[in-house]
């Protein structure tokens, strides 16, 4: 039997090392609520370019790799900062007769591969380290999906990743035209997800389940929400931020409002949570305009006060406290606009139902306002007695809080 030589030993040890690496790379996935991953997947389904912002090592690239595997899309990674502008605008190729045929702009090989596949996930990594000339070349790719004379097929989705300028290697701010073409998602880590992932189980990305029956209503809902807001707040249609840093993020423009409308429709058809919708809307038009749109969506979700007054015993009130408060205030306002004894009594019955099915303190303000609408010839309904205790207890708590605050202020003043 031949003795092993020195040349055999390193090879066998490398084979063992390869087996160990393969075991370390083995992982499974599990369905797990993750609003970041859901927001990313919803934007990808809506065919909108997305950019993930996060510190180095936070898991942006891993999330994109896992997303591509889960959606069964071939992943093409392009490091934007190591390319020339011509790599995205097309490379000039001189033919036999340039004066007659012109000089065509040939696309790079990775773009040709995407076209041949007909589908895929184009990952533009390290976007914040790309110089301004490269960012300018990316404008047409991100918006029109064109590279030279080549057009990417509809089955290709675009996702980018970037580090904040403070932590990027020789970083740049995104130019406003390029930034306004993306849905901006700020990527953070969840320690529980990281621990389970390192243990071999990562969350699974799945495409949102869109309800075919809800598609027309979702489109109508999104259009009404955006159009009503912009009709009331025309200054929000286009607002370019004054600072360079904010110009490189999400800000409102007709283009980004169109993206927000699309995302509201997709989130509505998919039944996504408010948290997911908040990430998407604020990541498209910015925090301020996004929060105004979310508030408008909440008002659109409120029940019709006339329907509540018509059948207070079976009325369904919102679960969230702020929405329930707004619904009760709307009922009192409706009674104020058309004061009638039957409507006044129905409003009291509705307040009783609200007290029995939610936080009692939410009825204090509307009950006080409703009591002030009483006419001299209106008898007081028996239901008021059931509310008297809650109102009195709430007022007692308010007075106690005021007294505590006054004593605290006096003590602080004496200690100076």
Stretch 66-73: mean pLDDT: 85
Would you state the pLDDT for residue 390?
55
Average confidence (pLDDT) over 58-76? 85
pLDDT at 254: 97
Is it the case that residue 314 has pLDDT exceeding 70? yes
More confident residue, 75 or 92: 75
Confidence of residue 298 (pLDDT cuts 50, 70, 90): confident
Q: Which residue has the higher pLDDT, 66 or 186?
A: 186
Average pLDDT over residues 308-315: 87
Percent of the chain residues topping a pLDDT of 70: 85
pLDDT over 60 at 415, yes or no: no
- In this predicted structure, what is the pLDDT of residue 137? 87
- pLDDT of amino acid 394: 44
User: What's the pLDDT band for 101 if we cut at 50, 70, 90?
Assistant: low
**What is residue 401's predicted lDDT score, i.e. its pLDDT?**
47
Average pLDDT across the chain, whole number: 84
pLDDT score of 129? 86
pTM (predicted TM-score): 0.75
Contact 74, 117 (CB under 8 A): yes
Element (H, E) at 28: strand 28-30
Identify the weakest region by mean pLDDT among 99-108, 188-197, 226-235, 287-296.
Answer: 99-108
Q: What is the mean pLDDT of residues 384-406?
A: 54
Q: Residue 97 has what pLDDT?
A: 60
Reference 129, options 71, 194, 175, 81; nearest CA is: 81
**Burial group, residue 218, by CB count within 10 angstroms (0-12, 13-18, 19+):** buried
Query: Is residue 376 left, alpha or beta, with left meaning phi > 0 and alpha meaning psi from -120 to 50?
Result: alpha
The mean per-residue pLDDT over the stretch 89-107 comes to 66
Task: Name the pLDDT band for 225 (thresholds 50, 70, 90).
Answer: very high
Whether residue 154 is predicted with pLDDT greater than 70 in this model: the reply is: yes
Question: What are the beta bridge partners of residue 34?
Answer: none
Q: Taking residues 318-324, what's their average pLDDT?
A: 82
- Structure confidence at residue 88 (pLDDT): 82
Distance CA 134, CA 123 (A): 15
- Residue 44 clears pLDDT 90, i.e. is over it: yes
- The average pLDDT across 234-260 equals 93
Predicted pLDDT at 398: 44
In whole angstroms, how far apart are CA 39 and each of 75, 109, 281, 290? 19, 31, 10, 15
In this predicted model, which residue has the larger pLDDT, 403 or 171?
171
Residue 397 has pLDDT above 50, yes or no: no
Compute the distance between CA of residue 30 and CA of residue 16 in angstroms, rounded to an integer. Answer: 29
State the pLDDT confidence band at 230, using cuts at 50, 70 and 90: very high
Assign domain 31-92+105-203 to its CATH superfamily. P-loop containing nucleotide triphosphate hydrolases (3.40.50.300)
The string over 283-295, giving b where at least 16 C-beta atoms fall within 10 Å of a residue's C-beta and e elsewhere, is bbbbeebbebbbe
Task: Please tell me the predicted confidence (pLDDT) of residue 47.
Answer: 94
CA dihedral 235, 238, 243, 248 (to 10 degrees): 150
């Amino acid at each position: 039997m031949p003795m092993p030589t020195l040349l055999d030993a390193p090879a066998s040890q490398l084979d063992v090392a390869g087996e160990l690496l393969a075991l370390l790379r083995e992982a499974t996935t599990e369905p797990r609520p993750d609003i970041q991953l859901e927001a990313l997947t919803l934007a990808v389904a809506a065919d909108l370019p997305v950019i993930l912002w996060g510190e180095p090592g936070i898991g942006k690239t891993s999330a994109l790799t896992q997303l591509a595997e889960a959606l069964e899309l071939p992943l093409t990674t392009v490091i934007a900062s190591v390319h020339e502008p011509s790599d995205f605008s097309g490379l000039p190729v001189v033919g036999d007769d340039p004066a007659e045929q012109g000089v065509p702009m040939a696309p790079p090989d990775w773009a040709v591969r995407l076209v041949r596949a007909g589908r895929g996930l184009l990952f533009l990594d390290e976007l914040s380290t790309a110089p301004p000339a490269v960012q300018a070349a990316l404008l047409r790719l991100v918006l029109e999906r064109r590279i030279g004379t080549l057009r990417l097929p509809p089955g290709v989705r675009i996702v980018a990743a970037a580090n904040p300028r403070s932590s990027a290697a020789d970083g740049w701010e995104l130019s406003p035209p390029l930034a306004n073409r993306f849905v901006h998602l700020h990527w953070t880590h969840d320690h529980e997800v990281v621990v389970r992932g390192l243990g071999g189980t990562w969350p699974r990305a799945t495409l949102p389940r869109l309800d075919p029956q809800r598609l027309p209503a979702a489109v109508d809902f999104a259009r009404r929400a955006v159009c009503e807001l912009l009709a009331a707040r025309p200054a929000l249609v286009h607002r370019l931020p004054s600072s360079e840093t904010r110009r490189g993020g999400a800000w409102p423009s007709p283009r980004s409002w169109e993206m927000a409308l699309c995302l509201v429709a997709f989130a509505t058809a998919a039944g996504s949570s408010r948290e997911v919708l908040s990430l998407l809307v604020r990541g498209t038009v910015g925090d301020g305009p996004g929060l105004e749109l979310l508030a408008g969506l909440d008002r659109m979700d409120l029940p019709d006060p006339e329907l509540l007054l018509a059948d207070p015993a079976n009325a369904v009130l919102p679960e969230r406290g702020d929405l329930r408060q707004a619904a009760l205030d709307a009922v009192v306002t409706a009674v104020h606009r058309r004061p009638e004894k039957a409507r006044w009594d129905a409003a009291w019955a509705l307040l009783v139902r609200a007290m029995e099915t939610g936080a009692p303190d939410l009825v204090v303000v509307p009950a006080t306002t409703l009591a002030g609408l009483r006419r001299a010839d209106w008898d007081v309904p028996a239901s008021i007695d059931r509310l008297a205790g809650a109102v009195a207890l709430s007022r007692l708590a308010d007075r106690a809080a005021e007294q505590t605050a006054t004593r605290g202020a006096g003590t602080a003043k004496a200690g100076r």
